[in-house]
Amino acid sequence: MSRNKTQGWKETVKTVFYAVLIAIFIRTFAYEPFSIPSGSMIPTLLVGDYLFVSKFSYGYSRHSLPFSLPLIPGRILYTQPERGDVVVFKLPADNRTDYIKRIIGLPGDRIQVKDGVLHINEQPVKRERVADHMRYLTSGNVMRDPRYIETLPNGKQHPIIEAQGDFGQGDDTRVYTVPEGHFFAMGDNRDSSLDSRFPDVGFVPKENLVGRAEFLFFSIEGSVWKIWTWPTAIRFDRLFSGID
């Protein structure tokens, strides 16, 4: 009887061990889940969105590994991101904090924002005014933020909002020339995004890319831990939707 219990315990430990190995393998080389804690990517991504990031999209670096273990030199199996990709990267300032933004500038590009309009290589990026983004405050009031569809030079379209019109802190910048092996990233919520326009973030080295945001698997208004609120708090229309 004792021998059977010992054998059963060993089998349980082996099963758990293999399950952990498989989970680590998937998280490292395939997909990793992330949640959205801030509104810098509104209206594309909302606070309370949960998404999967593909780790294989741009190859692998040490930031592909748990705890950013320094086991991969530089970046291997590298594929360059496309302009307009929504990516997760490690903040260059500390190589630890996860940020999610949209790739706007590629190596060699000259990026500038003038009067709220994005310019790439001296050419203004087309933007079209569409219906306002409705922002619901805890007080019950509703704010209407100007919303645009921006069309990048490669034809990629995405929405942006300009909560402060064209007079926000980052709406008039110098010209940024993106160095080789780096990228210029911006949030879609242009007046509420700490991104490559500011020295706290700056250019993003290719080694700091974690992966491309692929699709939402969950979305909720409020705390995910308050399970009793799920029937009314879950944003069912956002579940399993792709990220453009």
- Give the residue numbers annotated as catalytic, written as ranges: 40, 101
DSSP single-letter state for residue 27: H
Please give the sequence-ordered ranges of beta strands (E in DSSP) within 137-208, or none if there are none. Answer: 142-151, 157-161, 176-177, 182-186, 204-205
Label residues 83-104 b or e (16+ Cβ within 10 Å = b): bbbbbbbbbbeeeeeebbbbbb
E strand or H helix that includes residue 103 = strand 98-105
Distance, in Å, from the CA atom of 206 to the CA atom of 92, rounded to the nearest integer, reads 10
Distance, in Å, from the CA atom of 151 to the CA atom of 181, rounded to the nearest integer, reads 24
Cα distance between the two ends of the chain: 59
Distance, in Å, from the CA atom of 148 to the CA atom of 151, rounded to the nearest integer, reads 10
**C-alpha dist (Å) from residue 99 to 25, 121, 143:** 22, 25, 26
Q: 203: how many CB neighbours lie within 10 A of its CB? A: 19
